[in-house]
Amino acid sequence: MSFLGYFWFLYLYKKIVDNFRPILLFTFALPMTLHQISSFSYDALHIMFAMTFFVLIVSFPRRRESSLKSQYFKLFFVLLLFLSSKKIGYETFFLFLFLIPFKIKLMIISSLIFIPFYFLLKLNGSYDIQASLTNSLINPNEQINFLLSNPLHIIQIIFTTTINRLSFYLQSLIGIFGWLEYGLDPLSYLIYGVFFIYILFKINLQEKQLLAKNKIILLFTSLTISYVFIVLLAFVFNTAPGLLTAHGVQGRYFIPFLPFIILLIAQFTQKINYFKNIKINELTKNTVYFFIIMYLISATFYAVFSRYY
């Protein structure tokens, strides 16, 4: 999977529009992404399919061409493979199709074809639900009744979970390895945070690559619904009754959304030219890059080595 994921990434990096390459590189270069790619986790396929879907979305032709149907077929096929895998929680990825200029009629037909196949393929995860129903500590029925008894409970769960778990989500998005028992040093987390901000201001989108207001709202809504859905799933199927914080959600679950999160924030950073106007000597910049990357590589290897040896 390591070799497959690496060459898969190289292919995507070559195909994607130049302006979006930093987004793809940052997502793949996260320690948590590399950790999943080099393991037996099916998250590796989730991440790679999500990156492929992102590449197809941002590279979709903006004018009517003869190749439009083939492009759409590739986009839809990748999405189908992504959503038909065992893990649930990414259903709102289907909404991202509306980020590109399709006709409504085409979308409705696609939805009618997609939905029956999707639910049939999801049946293979039914044993996970059965395991939750037979767990002595977890009571999904009681959790669902708690949520439905008062709509404010849903808001309370989302708010409480976000406040209590946000730092863990961010840290485990970058990298907490093994069975969540070891991670990186604080400086490494800080550097990746700085890289994230750097990419937001480094991206220079052309006018045709900027999303219209309705598309921005749709992108924000899709990401919000995705987050709420994943947290509520964890609350119902992985949280003991009486607790107001959903357990079981890790930052790595949000890696498939990361390119779209960066795309959303980048829509608002394009008019900020302060950082873009800063000129740095190429030799100086490359030297700084080299030492930072060497430090991150060393810190990551040291974290793994000190844990196991």
Per residue in 115-168, pLDDT (tens digit) is 776 666 666 555 566 666 677 788 888 998 999 999 899 999 999 999 999 999
Tell which wins on pLDDT, 110 or 241. Answer: 241
61 vs 81, residue with greater confidence: 81
pLDDT of 260 above 80: yes
Q: Rounded to an integer, what distance in angstroms lies between the CA atom of residue 79 and that of residue 66?
A: 22
Q: How many CA atoms lie within 13 A of 229 on its CB side?
A: 14
Statement: residue 87 has pLDDT above 80: no
87-101: average pLDDT: 81
What confidence tier does 61 reach under pLDDT thresholds 50, 70, 90?
Answer: confident
176 touches 182 (CB < 8 A)? yes
Confidence (pTM): 0.90
Q: What is the pLDDT of residue 169?
A: 97
Q: Which residues of 279-305 are buried (b: 16+ CB within 10 A; e: fewer)?
A: eeeeeeeeeeeeeeeeebeebbeebee
Q: What pLDDT score was predicted for residue 274?
A: 67
Average pLDDT, the chain: 87
